[in-house]
């Protein structure tokens, strides 16, 4: 299974030391160059982890499509969506609502960080999600009370 990642899911998982779960959930993990540079410049705590050989950095080829997406999305989001199309990825992992909706409208299978945690629990890679979700929130990640509650309830952790 090929997965393309945007910045937010990677830094969220790196913040709770769970980035390694991705190796067990996906066969191939790609990030666009803009995501790599964004993490390198703004999120030094995650930089060494994403520099692992199992995370492949790719340059987006379709510059005209990229320019079109850049009108509505930031560089990382636009490149992630573009790369997912170019690689015919099985999954795009992105949390930002506008990018998520654009990708979905174009027939791309999209999930977010919470779904990755749910997959890890279902695969018995982690026992519970709540402490990890709480840790992500403490590290600066924001979820509405409704999303937080509904997600944990769905997993049987409330």
pTM across the whole model: 0.93
Q: How many CB atoms lie within 10 A of CB 82?
A: 25
Q: Which two tokens stand for residue 12?
A: 């969220």
> Does residue 43 have a pLDDT over 80?
no
User: What is the rounded CA–CA span in Å between residue 96 and residue 59?
Assistant: 21
pLDDT, residue 45, reads 67
What are the C-alpha distances in Å from 141 to residues 8, 80, 101, 137? 9, 20, 20, 5
pLDDT, residue 47, reads 64
Q: Which CATH superfamily is domain 2-114 in?
A: 5'-nuclease (3.40.50.1010)
**Mean pLDDT to the nearest integer, 32-46:** 86
């Amino acid at each position: 299974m090929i997965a393309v990642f945007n910045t937010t899911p990677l830094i969220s998982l790196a913040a709770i030391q769970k980035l390694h779960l991705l190796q067990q959930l996906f066969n191939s993990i790609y990030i666009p160059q803009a995501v790599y540079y964004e993490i390198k410049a703004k999120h030094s705590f995650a930089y060494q982890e994403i520099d692992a050989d199992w995370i492949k950095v790719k340059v987006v080829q379709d510059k005209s499509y990229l320019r079109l997406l850049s009108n509505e999305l930031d560089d990382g989001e636009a490149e992630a969506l573009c790369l997912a199309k170019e690689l015919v990825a099985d999954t795009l992992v992105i949390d930002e609502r506008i990018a998520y909706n654009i990708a979905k409208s174009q027939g791309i299978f999209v999930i977010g960080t919470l779904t990755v945690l749910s997959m890890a629990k279902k695969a018995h890679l982690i026992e519970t999600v709540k402490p990890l979700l709480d840790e992500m929130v403490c590290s600066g990640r924001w979820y509405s009370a409704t999303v937080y509650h509904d997600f944990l309830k769905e997993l049987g952790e409330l």
